[in-house]
Amino acid sequence: MCNVSDDQSVQVSLGQRSYQIVIASQQLDQIAEAMNSWLVRRGYPRQGRAAVIITDRNVLESHAAIVSLSLRSAGWRCHTVGMDPGEQTKTLAAASHIYDVLVDLKADRQTVIVAVGGGVMGDLAGFVASTYNRGLPFVQVPTSLLAQVDSSVGGKVGINHPKGKNLIGAFHQPIGVYLDTSVLKTLPDREYRGGLAEVVKYGVILDPVFFEYLEQHVADLNAREGNALRHIVARSCRLKADIVEKDEFELTGVRAVLNYGHTFAHAFEALCGYGELSHGEAVSIGMLYASRLAERLGRIDAELTARQKRLLEALHIPTTLPASSRLNPDEVIDRMRLDKKAVGGQLRFVLPTRLGHVETVTDAPESEVRAVLEELSSAP
């Protein structure tokens, strides 16, 4: 178990690009202090601090307004750009709109871009920060659970191309992440549960003790209890940061463990129609398919799959495909071959060998994959 200080801050060590993730609760109004200290440490001048907040309209008047007030009270010039919420805003057109605003504001290399919102705002604002004027300092204030435990850690930023999600992007580490778990109170239930699926994933792939913690704190997690939230967010950030520190640019394959459940999930999301199944829901279902595949390949026993299913169900995260989806196994397999993580059309799965440990498997027989798809899709 972590002690309290581990739940207040996570250090991401990447040489000159190292940064701190502050984990606060009901302290969004103190963000200016943290941002000032990050800038001082990097040698930015103390005068003329300026920030542009990129946010979506669901959190603009609540959480983004508090960030803006905190910065203004500390003497910053601060401008807020409100975007439409949702994945459809992760486009070049939206980035271009923000570039126009930055030009009008005469933003310079000292202007800090602050993303306030879920993963969409983080990816979009981060992409703008990585490209405008060859790179601006970037701060993330993630407000969805998925953004707090996943997208705000690791430096991947980007936008979608009409032909592919996240096709245009960069690695651009923030100078800091300021994360306040109390903002999760306003997060819609479905978004919250989707984020929890990624939290469960960290337990399965990296940390059996954390998995047990989740099992023991189901009631607290369902109630969004403050201490439990802080712990799961801090532990998830630490676990992802450990991986990112070993493979910052996704070159060595270490980062691939984070894709547990995702080979199935990406195919399910695409074939069910984006929106029908959220990403987190698809990951929950995808983990169980992957786990069942691991069972069939003799890597784990049935109890490990059952244990994941019990936890996901207790957290009210879907564990089976919608009855209406009726996916054809051949279509799913074709889709998995198209996945950008598949190399040369070869199916690639991240499969558990025990709780807390996974391996990349590239030689799973297609007949076994098909059997899992047929068996689980026809289960009552």
The residues that touch ligand NAD, with contacts defined as CB under 6 A, are: 56, 58-59, 85-87, 90, 117-121, 123, 143-144, 146-147, 150-151, 154, 156, 166, 183-184, 186-187, 191
Q: How far is the CB of 87 from ligand NAD (least distance, A)?
A: 5
Cβ at position 332, least distance to ligand NAD in Å = 21
Q: Is 17 a catalytic residue?
A: no
259, 269, 281, 295: which is the annotated catalytic residue? 259
Return the number of the residue (34 or 115) whose C-beta is nearest ligand NAD.
115
* DSSP notation for 263-279: HHHHHHHHHH-BTTB-H
Take residue 101 and report the two structure tokens written for it: 């605003």
b or e along 320-348 (b: 16 or more beta carbons within 10 Å of the residue's beta carbon)? ebeeeeebebeebeebbeebeebeeeebb
Q: Indicate which residue of 245, 250, 276, 313 is catalytic.
A: 250
Given 46, 106, 134, 163, the catalytic residue: 134
156 is catalytic: yes
Q: Is 198 a catalytic residue?
A: yes
CA 174/CA 125 separation, integer angstroms: 11
224 assigned to active site: no
- Which residue in the block uniquely carries the two structure tokens 């270490």? 254
Q: Among this protein's residues, is 225 annotated catalytic?
A: no
Give catalytic status of residue 359 as yes or no. no
302's tokens: 């049935």
Shortest separation between residue 375's beta carbon and ligand NAD, angstroms? 29
| Known catalytic membership, residue 299 | no
Note if 307 is an active site residue.
no
Nearest to 114 by CA among 58, 68, 48: 68
Which residue lies nearer to ligand NAD by CB, 262 or 292? 262
Residue 145 near residue 187, CB atoms below 8 Å:
yes
Q: Are 22 and 178 in contact (CB under 8 A)?
A: yes
Please enumerate in sequence order all residues whose Cβ is within 8 A of that of 97, keeping only pairs 6 or more positions apart, or say none.
81, 83
Q: Between the CA atoms of 8, 280, 17 and 94, what dihedral angle is there, to the nearest 10 degrees?
A: -120
Least distance to ligand NAD from the beta carbon of 186, Å?
4
Catalytic residue among 49, 63, 90, 156: 156
The residue from 193, 201, 262, 335 that is catalytic is 262
Please report how close the Cβ of residue 248 comes to ligand NAD at its closest, in angstroms.
12
Q: Which residues are catalytic?
A: 134, 156, 198, 240, 250, 255, 259, 262, 266, 279
